[in-house]
Each structure stands twice: as C-alpha cells, then as structure tokens.
Amino acid sequence: MEFGSGDPEALMRDFLREVGGCAVIDGGLATELEANGADLNDPLWSAKCLISSSHLIRKVHLDYLEAGANIIITSSYQATIQGFESRGFSAEESEALLRKSAEIACEARDIFYKECSEGFENHNKTKKHTVLVAASIGSYGAYLADGSEYSGEYSKEMTLEKLKNFHRRRVEVLAESGADLIAFETIPNKLEAQAYVELLEENNTRTPAWFSFNSKDGVNVVSGDSLIECASIADSCKKVVAIGINCTPPRFIQGLILSIRKVTKKPILIYPNSGERYDAEKKEWVASTGVTDEDFVSYVRVWCEAGACLIGGCCRTTPNTIRGISKVLQNYVPNESEEDRILFVVCLLLRSIWR
C-alpha cells in the first residue's frame, strides 16, 4: 500500500484519512504466541520464534488482522544482531532473521487481503481494511532481557554513541526490510530517544518511524526523565510520524496523552498493556492485577477524546481486546460541536449507502 509518495508525514496523514481518522494497532504478540503453544522462556523472547516457529508468528499476525488491526508490529522487538550472534549465528544470518520478521508480517497481510477478496470462505467474515506493517525495535534494555526497559537505568558507562552503535545496523536493516514504518517501542529514557533521532537523521532512509515511550508513574517515562522532553526530542525529527506510549497501565494513558499534546501536533499513538504487574525477577506477569478486556475497551473513547488516533494493546492484550477497540473506533463520533457531530453522522450514513 503506497501512502504519502515518499513524504514521511504524508504517509501517516494519508493512512489515517484512508482508515477514517483513527487506526487500530494490534495487541500483545508474545502473549498470543504463548497462547498458541510457543515457549518464550529465552533471552530472545518472542524473537525466538523467528528461528524455530515462524508459522506461529504468521498466525498471530493474521488473528490480529481478522480482529480489525490496521497496523501489525513485527516480531523483532527483542531481535538484535548482537543477540543472534551470541547464539552462534553469523552477522549475515542475524540480519536475515531481522528481515524475516518483516517478511512474515507482509506475508500475513497478503494472506489477509487475499482472504478478504475471496470472501473469507473459511473464516468469520471480516471487512477488508488497509494495513501497515511496523518493524519493531525494542530498546537496549530489551536486548539485556533483565527488565531494564522498565527501569530505563543503563550502566553509567552508557553513552549516546554507544547506543547509536548498538542500534545502527538493526535500524538500517529494518528500514530496508519492506516494512512501512519503524516502531521504536518502550523507549525508557531521553538518551535512547536522542540516539534514535540521530540514527534516523544520519541514515538516508525514507522509512518513517514512530516513537513510543513507557511510564510507570503516569507523569514521566520509566527512567524518571521528563515525558515532555522525550516527546519534544521525537517531535524535532521530520521522519517521526507519530509519538506515544506503550506497555503502560490503562489508568495512566489519558494524562500522558494530554502531556504529549503540549509539545507536538503529530498524531498520538497509544497501546497500553493490560495493567497487570510484571515481576522482573520471576520474569512473569502477576495475574489478576490488571483490567478486563471490557474495562480496557471502555477507555478507548476517553483516549480518543484526549487526542489519540492510533490505538492498540501491548503485553497481555489479545485479539479479543483488539476486536473491542476496533468496534469502538468504527462507531466513534468525535466530541466536537453539535454541528460537527451531525455532519459526521451524515457522512457515515452516506458512506454506508455508497457501499
């Protein structure tokens, strides 16, 4: 799907127009891989499936597309060249595994489009909708696999240059992988945001990116750095086409959207986790500490009204959550003046008659 004719900002603008103003991002990948039988107890986490069970990744992407996702995020969050090399893969093989994450997502999209045009004989009927593939890049802390993307505390020796060197080749490979955009996810501190901006600018890539931070207090990013400063860094880069928050409890999201809005006019994306607590020592989610799917979905209107226009789920959310979000967004009427509201409803009616 070609949007924006090479202008990064136009890509997101055209895409949002095409999907009716608000887009649905997919939900937790690892959560669903495990639900489908994958064992992710591994420093490579969901990226482990790139080596051994790509069919499961394809299936989970498809489940999210059928649930209504307009954007699917690749399985490369914890996939790094350094991580694969420590498993004995060569640099070339490691890069091929990164590319494979985008290829699987693009394949899932092709299958989805084909199924839509064939009328979903073997599936529940789902309407064809536009789909973008976002290549995930997890933070340096995600590579460490010690939970430090949730603390943002890197060693004192960590510098901007070291972070850029760590991420450089992965960004280059994923930018050329066929994905429509790069999703820098769970960015825990200002230094890493700055490193990504400099890599995008030094790189001649035309692939746009989104920046997504995480917060554990509803005010700052997890390291304690100011969210407003982090979002301003993202806003300063022309190749950044959306800014937001992921893997953060739903109860914090509204306030965080309002903070981001103070420093950017770019579209705001959010894909919270289920609100459950992650025990970094035991490396597991503490069950029953989060919100139900119904509660999660009941926030969606509030998030739209606060200014978010790309909404999905992160850890512990499922195709069910995404189906719920999709339903709300299909019927969402922006909270504008009475005239705008009437005009919007008339447009919706006309659109359904023309179809």
CB of 279 to Zn ion, least distance (A): 14
Tokens encoding 303: 């998030």
Strands, E assignment, 102-160: 132-137
Residue 198: Cβ-neighbour burial (10 angstroms; 0-12, 13-18, 19+): middle
* C-beta separation of 123 from 115 below 8 A: yes
d(C-alpha 139, C-alpha 152), whole Å:
9
CB of 249 to Zn ion, least distance (A): 11
- 3-state secondary structure at position 212: strand
Q: Which is nearer to Zn ion, 16 or 257 (CB)?
A: 257
d(C-alpha 43, C-alpha 316), whole Å:
19
CB of 273 to Zn ion, least distance (A): 5
* CA distances (Å), origin 203, targets 49, 125, 175, 209: 29, 42, 10, 12
Q: Are strands 277-279 and 284-286 parallel, antiparallel or unpaired?
A: antiparallel
Q: Binding site annotation covers 49?
A: no
Q: Which is nearer to Zn ion, 3 or 143 (CB)?
A: 143
CB of 246 to Zn ion, least distance (A): 6
* C-beta separation of 203 from 175 below 8 A: yes
Stretch that binds Zn ion, among 36-44, 65-73, 128-136, 246-254 (CB under 5 A): 246-254
Q: Which is nearer to Zn ion, 105 or 315 (CB)?
A: 315
CB of 222 to Zn ion, least distance (A): 12
Query: How long a stretch of residues is the chain?
Result: 355
Q: Which is nearer to Zn ion, 94 or 274 (CB)?
A: 274
- Site residues for Zn ion, 270-329, by CB under 5 A, read 273, 314-315
Q: Does the CA dihedral 9-214-292-59 come out positive or negative?
A: positive
CB of 315 to Zn ion, least distance (A): 3
* C-beta separation of 169 from 81 below 8 A: yes
CB of 40 to Zn ion, least distance (A): 13
Strands, E assignment, 228-312: 240-246, 268-271, 277-279, 284-286, 308-311
Q: Which is nearer to Zn ion, 94 or 248 (CB)?
A: 248
247 makes contact with Zn ion (CB under 5 A): yes
CB of 28 to Zn ion, least distance (A): 6
- 3-state secondary structure at position 12: helix
Geometric angle at alpha carbon 164, from 135 and 181, rounded to 5°: 20
Q: Binding site annotation covers 315?
A: yes
**How many residues make contact with Zn ion (CB under 5 A)?**
4
Tokens encoding 307: 């200014």
* C-beta separation of 334 from 340 below 8 A: yes
Stretch that binds Zn ion, among 69-77, 225-233, 239-247, 318-326 (CB under 5 A): 239-247
Q: Which is nearer to Zn ion, 26 or 115 (CB)?
A: 26
- Site residues for Zn ion, 134-153, by CB under 5 A, read none
Q: Which is nearer to Zn ion, 67 or 247 (CB)?
A: 247
Q: Binding site annotation covers 309?
A: no
Q: Which is nearer to Zn ion, 209 or 245 (CB)?
A: 245
Q: Which residues are annotated as a binding site for Zn(2+)?
A: 247, 314-315
Give the residues lining the site for Zn ion (CB under 5 A). Answer: 247, 273, 314-315
Q: Which residues are annotated as a binding site?
A: 247, 314-315
